[in-house]
Structure 1
Amino acid sequence: MLKAIDDAFLNTLVEGGVTSARRDNQEIFDKALQELGSDALVSSTVIAAQRPAEEGGEKTKQVVKTPNGTKLVIVSKVLISAPPTISNLGALGLDDTEESLFSQFTSSSFYCHLIADTGLPKGYSFHNVRPTSEATFSIPPLPGLYNINPTAVEGIYSVWYGGTEPLSQNQVKKDITATVKRLRDTAEGSSEGNVSFVGYSSHTPFQLAVPSDAIADGFYRELDGLQGHRNTWYTGSAFVGNHAALLWNFTEALLPRVIG
């Protein structure tokens, strides 16, 4: 939790954050794709892999399912940024050490939507809280909405939605629609029209975590010890946090160890 709700996150809520001049967070990835060209396999999945037992051994072979067929990729080292869960990394042929660590992770679900035709009054943000529950810091029961915020585009709102387990897109949409209808009645908005969905992104599995006992027993020290194990390296929110600057800085610091 402290990795997710840190100083950077709280300062952004209070003082505002920094974004690109064109307000396009996707642009840096589009530029990277242009640079990589056909070497980038997008919308693709590793379905099998053979990795060396120790660092510095033979090269890693990966069978990748792509929209254009199956490809064999042979590399010296692997850098993984996906959440390190058993379901995500099982195709890599995990050894006992890797599996014993990754199997301890639990996660939540997190979904971002862009909605329109809400009927909500203009100029307001809406945050879901549980006022009578000081013991749980007013955190609402899940699954449910975290917040609804206006965007820079008039009439378009962003919605954060969370759960304790994965949910279908239809389940989330249904609950968002029902919540917005209740809210606009309470907030004296317009009751006309149906909520429309104009954007969707799933960040599930989200906020990988382990019990406090595991942390005290050195879990994250052992997790960091996997860097370079079997010529495989890791970056991502499970290792450092969810914020873009932290992730870029962590990865930049890690790369010399990967390519050295």
Structure 2
Amino acid sequence: MKSPQLGFVLALWLKSAASIEGSGYSNATIDVDVAIIGGGSGGIHSAIQLKDAGARVLVLEKKDQIGGHAETYINKETGVVNNIGVSVFEDTDVVKRYFARLGVPTSSVSASPPSTLYDFELGIPIPPPDEGAQQAILAAAKAYSQNVLSKYGWLDQGYFLPDPVPEELYMPIGDLAAKYNFTALLPIMARFNWHFGNQTKVPALYGIKDFGPDFLRSTFGQLIVSGTGNTRSLYDAALKELGSSVLLSTTILAVNRHSTGVTLLVSQNGMVKTIRAKKLLVAIPPTLQSLKSFDLSRSERALFSRFSSLGYFTGVARVPGWNSRSLANVGAFTPFHQPLIPGSRAFRATGTPDEFYFGVGFPTDQVADEDGKAVVRRQLATLAEAGAIPAAAGDAVTFSASSFHMPFNVRVGAADIKKGFYAELLALQGSRNTYWTGAAWAGHNSALVWKFNEGTIVPAIKEDLGLEHQLPLSWNSHLHLTPWMLTTISGVKH
């Protein structure tokens, strides 16, 4: 809660902000073309794209580093690097171009699962898929591609849904799988999109979004990783490129969007600064908590209040005698063999003998670090009792590094999807000199966010700033849609 004194100061600042614009006032004031709130995947990618187009950009990041969920832990004794956030990317041109633009090498890896499978809640060993099960998975992937992605593959470009929204997109993904015979693929979808949510309830829209044509192809082929072994190399290179165009450890105190642009009051290391921008790009999750310093309109507030999200706790832990074990969590008796939540995705060897990577999913973002650690301890104890890992592992575990990624998978329910939520959401683009990007707008996948930036957001901002004489894409309801996307959407039968 703001103090009365701070509230009074902010009220005076907001009242005078419009008069500051164009007055020549420059003390502690920074003038840019585009102010970008959020230095994660979407914000940094768009900053590089806009900078290349000749725009003056300024990225405002609350943390002391950019990169969002791209976090790493480096063991001081062994020097082994572990990505405890973003680690793999789709094998697509947009990914390759971005890495190449920043001079970061890439490597390819296959998506092979750990050989040891257990139900972490029951301590039951699960046999690996036999040849028959593997053939069933391949057949399911083919059915999914032919019957679903052939109709909805355009979702890789963004949430550009037809009106009315096809029922198949808001029915549970499990029901869609039964309809089109790809149920055997659901455990794979859940394993690669952690934490996905309960597949008996999650709308199919999100299942397709999280497992689109490029991700499906990459999963059964090759995925891209940073050639340095450290995902943060991409953001180290971006920070070097952007230099003083990034303000770290910055708090947004107030946002005033007016007819001539946007004025922000920010605090960095105890210093208050005014940012004046022609356009604002918001690249943080659009939740009411994240946007509490914004001058939200009634429609913005109504839309953002309908979002809910999950929680994801990740990091590296140490158990004496772990000896480079890797175990994956599989539900023995759950629908589609999905692990129970709250629960871990896997305990995976890191390359340092006594350390392992963990990832814990929660059905809500209203949790704390200790909740995540408690789940790890409990499941380690169960596995130790089953003889899968060293005895008393639940008591002996220590945490070398951990991070809570929240809000994670920001979504709405089936009823909102059916009523046209995403059409209303996307109609906000460009309104009040503001654009929006990130996982909530494109999908919880860096490649999808970068596609959305390149295909929709960056071209729109460039056009608004007069950086292009002619739109490269068709303009439709404040959105940039390629002719292919328009043709595909209009051709959907429902």
8 Å CA contact 2:324–2:355 kept in 1: the answer is no
Change in Cα spacing, 1:11 to 1:67, as seen in structure 2 (3 Å) is: farther
Gaps (5+ residues) in structure 2? 1-205, 464-494
1:33 equivalent in structure 2: 239
Partner of 1:168: 368
Give the whole-Å Cα distance in 2 for the aligned partners of 1:4 and 1:190: 35
Residue number in structure 2 paired with 1:131? 332
Matches within 5 A, 1:112-151: 112-117=314-319, 119-120=321-322, 122-127=324-329, 129-134=330-335, 137-151=336-350
Percent identical residues: 28
Alpha-carbon distance in structure 2 between the residues aligned to 1:244 and 1:185: 39
Distance in 1 between the 2:294 and 2:429 partners? Answer: 15
Cα separation, partners in 2 of 1:118 and 1:222, compared to 1, 3 Å: farther
Distance 1:151 1:121, change over 3 A: closer
CA–CA distance in structure 2, aligned partners of residues 197 and 212 of structure 1? 38
Kept in 2: contact 1:110–1:163 (CA 8 A):
yes
- Alignment partners' CA distance in 1, 2:339 and 2:454: 37
SS across alignment from 1:86: coil
Q: Deviations over 1:59-116 (max 9, x none)?
A: 2111112224222111111111111111111211100111111111111111211122
Say whether 1:201 aligns with 2:400.
no
Length-normalised TM-score, structure 1: 0.87
User: Which one of the candidate residues 462, 476, 489 is aligned to 1:259?
Assistant: 462
Alpha-carbon shift at residue 234 of structure 1 (Å): 1.0
Q: Which residue of 1 aligns with 2:225?
A: 19
Higher Cα Rg: structure 1 or 2?
2
CA distance in 1, matches of 2:356, 2:453: 32
TM-score when normalising by structure 2: 0.48
Partner residue in 2 for 1:51: 257
Cα RMSD between the aligned structures?
Answer: 2.2
> Aligned partners of 1:152, 1:249: CA distance in 2, in Å?
33
CA contact (8 A) 1:120 1:184 kept: no
Partner of 2:426: 224
Give, in angstroms, the shift of residue 22 of structure 1: 0.3
Deviation at 1:191, TM superposition (A): 2.4
Instruction: Tell me whether 114-123 or 63-72 shows the greater mean CA deviation.
Output: 114-123
| One-letter code aligned to 2:389 | G
Larger fraction in helix: 2
* 2:488 corresponding residue in structure 1: none
Alignment of 1:178-197 (within 5 A): 178-191=378-391, 194-197=396-399
Amino acid in the other structure paired with 1:138: H
C-alpha distance in 2, partners of 1:131/1:192?
Answer: 23
Q: Which stretches of structure 1, 4 residues or longer, exceed 6 Å deviation after superposition?
A: none
Partner of 1:171: helix, strand, or coil?
helix
Give the CA deviation at 1:227: 0.8
Q: SS state of the match for residue 441, structure 2?
A: coil
The residue aligned with 1:102 is 304
Q: Aligned to 1:206, what secondary structure does the other structure show? A: strand
In 2, Cα distance between equivalents of 1:139 and 1:69? 49
SS of equivalent residue, structure 1 residue 205: strand
**Take 1:222 and 1:173, find their aligned partners in 2: how far apart are those partners?**
39
Q: Which moved more, 1:185-194 or 1:138-147?
A: 185-194
How far has the Cα of 1:158 moved from its partner?
A: 1.8
C-alpha separation in 2, matches of 1:196 and 1:40 = 35
Secondary structure at 1:90 match in 2: coil
| Structure 1 residue corresponding to 2:280, chosen from 68, 78, 85 | 78
Residue matched to 1:65? 267
Contact between 1:110 and 1:202, CA under 8 Å: does it hold in 2?
yes
CA distance 1:149–1:8, shift in 2 (3 Å): farther
